[in-house]
Amino acid sequence: MKTIEESRARLRGLFNITMTPFKADQSIDFEGLSRNALRVLDLGFDGLLIGGTYGEFPTLSVEERAEIFRHVMNTVDDRAPVMLCTAHSDPRVVRELTTLAGELGGVPMVMPPYVSEVTDDQIVAFFLEMAPLSKTGAIVYNAPGTGITLSPSVLEKLSDIPQMVAIKQGDLSPGVIDRIAGRLKGKIGLFCASDLAFLGPMAAGFDGISSTNSGAFPELVQESYRAIEGGDSITAGALHRRWYDYRAFARQFGQPQTVKAAMNLRGFDGGHVRAPLRDLGAAEIGVLEALVRPLAG
């Protein structure tokens, strides 16, 4: 992508949150990363999200993150839109990665600065500084798991920034989703940040979702998403319930660890997680294998 207008037009649909596979020595498996990206695009996914929370960006150096950005964009070229997570606690790093993401043709995904006692006004000022750095615009990543949850009123202020093209919304409480969909639909792209509970936001009018578990079950997640996208909530709900037991397991043991283990069981490039996370043990993998078998393919 080259412009903000192109980003606004293309940022919609089903995006795979692409796992960053690490080798046993904790180095990045770049060949596996390429295969992970191309696998879902070949199946018909609409885009990718690279280097987000489930891409384990907090464990990556700034240099590694930039290298991943370049590698993926070289792999994908302009085949599909790519969200590139540029979050960091140091604004200097956010500036560097946000600028790079736009130059490469991706769209930077910016989190609020996760420092203690930051105010709403300071958060808005931060986004006002960062968004113009990218020629492709920027995405607000509202990720409560980082310790800061952006309120609907703050999101409305951020949607007024001319360079802001989308919101990736992690607070999925019904009242919040209702307000965001009711007030911001058509003004800015709306993405549900979780495939664990995307049916409601999509029915409310969201423009797309980002899916972590599609790394392990791309066919099933895509079938469910296409059903709700096409207005068939009955089919979408039935397909979504099929993998509830797996979702419960993932909540217990952690999504990056579980998704990567499930990918490995399917012969995909899950690889390892990077410390401080730990791979699932043999006992957990034995339970997981029984959950994966009926969902694969």
Catalytic residues: 141, 168
Which residues, other chains included, contact 114 with Cβ-Cβ below 8 Å and sequence gap of 6+?
A: 87, 89, 146, 147, 148
Amino acid at 49: L
CB atoms inside a 10 Å sphere around CB 79: 12
Task: Please state, in angstroms and rounded to a whole number, the distance separating the CA atoms of residues 140 and 112.
Answer: 8
Which residues, other chains included, contact 103 with Cβ-Cβ below 8 Å and sequence gap of 6+?
A: 135
Which residues, other chains included, contact 47 with Cβ-Cβ below 8 Å and sequence gap of 6+?
A: 10, 11, 13, 14, 15, 16, 80, 81, 82, 83
Assess whether the previous peptide bond of 144 is cis (omega < 30° from 0).
no
| Residue of 142, 163, 151, 131 lying closest to 52 (CA atoms) | 142
Output DSSP code: residue 131: G
- Contact present, 272 and 24 (Cβ < 8 Å): yes
Length of the chain: 297
Task: Please state, in angstroms and rounded to a whole number, the distance separating the CA atoms of residues 216 and 195.
Answer: 12
Give residue for tokens 């099929």: 242
Q: What is the CA radius of gyration of the chain?
A: 18
DSSP 3-state assignment of 87? Answer: coil
Task: Please state, in angstroms and rounded to a whole number, the distance separating the CA atoms of residues 163 and 140.
Answer: 11
